[in-house]
A and B are shown apart, each in its own frame.
Chain A
Amino acid sequence: VNSNDDAILVRRCLRGDDEAIHNLVNRFQTEIYGLCVRLLNHRHDAEDVTQEVFLRIFRSLRGWDSRRPLKPWIMSIAVNRCRTWLSQRCKRPELVDYLQDTLPGPPADDSGELVQEIEKAVAELRLEYRTAFVLFHEQGQPYEDIAQVMDRPVGTIKTWLHRARLEILERLRRRGMVSGDGEEHPAAPLPENEREQA
């Protein structure tokens, strides 16, 4: 989808075209909801915030600059809304175990345990690190788009992402997912093409 298609879609939405509104919602709901789940660690909250994000998107759709890509603009609204929600949630008196709500049951094998450890590690990251990590590794957005979403320079995003990875790696090491001297997994991570060949 190029920027011209985005502009056409937005114009149709502004005209009140129901089909265009459905298209826009269907196109972005998975990414917005996934981001909200990762940032909020709570599925019900994520659903509420996803709805609010779309409300805000449509209310401010006229303010979108059609010369810029649509997706980073939309994701920035989602990130800002999650940030606001988290700050409001901190003020609530009740204590809720959000991780229990989000994470699945106990894993059956090592890979499930690995995934669970990674999810817990991601959930414990600082919000900025977590946002950069999820946008990069889970949603596959490039550094430049993440910089637009988070309104920070690319260098800052790289720094945050590198620190996020180091914290996760440290947690994996502490939780015994890696042997002490790395002898069980001596090889470096393989690039994608080499992994597929293997």
Chain B
Amino acid sequence: MNCDEAHDLLQQCLDGSPIESPEWLTHLRHCADCRTLASAGRRLHDGLHLLSSPLPPTGLAERIVERLRLDRRRARSRARRRLALSLALAAGLIVALSLRLNWQGATDGTNTRPPDSVVKNAPEREGASQVHTDQRREPDYDRTAPTLRQSAAELGEVFTSLSNQTADETLGQTRLWAANVPSPSLPKLDLASMEPPTRPLREAGEGVSEGLEPVTTSARRAVDLFLRELPMEPSATN
């Protein structure tokens, strides 16, 4: 047996494996270095049994648990703040887009959104066509579209109702005025063949909503990513 093999056996012994090797003992008797190393190994073996593992100070577990509770409370508070912030951002975005749409409508000459009472009663006033009422009840936009798109379409409907009302009032006044004119030479208006004045506005509303669709998609995706980052409540997963 050489010195390297003797060292390997010493390591095995310190690993805890029993050694029964007469060759090793013979080698130790003849090799002073290995004998010294083996003696040191025995001292290490003895010392490791005396070596006591450091014990944690009193109350460490309670301090750890208290710190964990504090950390959980902070995490929940952070999650709530993030949620509130994201909701506020989403609401602000919607309001800003709505205002933008209103402003665009005003600059196009359709004025601002009429009061709800006007919109609600507009189709029921004199001469309102049943077609317009049906169109208002069953709008033709995609019902699975995002909420913002629906809002834009509804804005278009509002403009449609307003223009309906204006058109009806204008027609009524025109009829009254035409009846009082003495000259019968005025041509008779074919109202049925006239193109409804609201179609371009409806199309404009749909165009606006389609134009906003990438914006709404991006905003919704951003909010989803933001919400996904929020730490979930432990009970929510179990």
Contacts and interface: CB of A to CB of B under 8 A. Distances in A.
Interface of A: 11, 14-16, 18, 21-22, 25-26, 29-31, 33-34, 37-38, 43, 46-47, 50-51, 54-55, 58-59, 62, 111, 114-115, 117-119, 137-139, 162, 165, 168-170, 172-173, 177-194
A11 B238 contact: yes
A181 B32 contact: yes
Interface string B15-53: 011110000110010001001111111111111101101
B67 interface: yes
B36 A180 contact: yes
Given A185-B39, A187-B38, 13 more contacts: A14-B238, A15-B238, A16-B234, A33-B54, A34-B55, A43-B57, A47-B60, A114-B46, A115-B47, A165-B44, A169-B41, A185-B42, A188-B42
Nearest to B70: A55
B58 to A, nearest CB: 11
Contact of A186 (B10, B14, B35, B44): B35
Contacts of A184: 39
Contact of B47 (A33, A118, A194): A118
Nearest to B46: A114
B5 interface: no
Given A58-B68, A186-B28, A189-B14, A34 B234 contact: no
Nearest 4 pairs between A and B by C-beta? A185-B39, A182-B39, A191-B18, A182-B35
Interface residues of B, number: 46
B65 interface: yes
A169 B238 CA distance: 53
B36 A181 contact: yes
B41 A194 contact: no
B19 A172 contact: no
Contact of B41 (A26, A138, A179, A189): A189
A172 B65 CA distance: 41
B237 interface: yes
Contact of A189 (B45, B53, B55, B68): B45
B13 interface: yes
Contact of A114 (B18, B43, B54, B65): B43
Nearest to B37: A169
B39 A178 contact: yes
A188 B28 contact: yes
B224 interface: no
Contact of B53 (A26, A139, A169, A182): A139
B61 interface: yes
Contacts of B182: none
Given A182-B35, A187-B42, A188-B28, A22 B13 contact: no
Contacts of B53: 30-31, 34, 138-139
A188 B36 contact: no
A29 B64 contact: yes
17 contacts: A16-B72, A16-B234, A47-B56, A51-B63, A114-B43, A114-B50, A118-B44, A137-B51, A139-B53, A172-B40, A178-B40, A181-B36, A182-B35, A182-B40, A186-B28, A188-B42, A189-B45
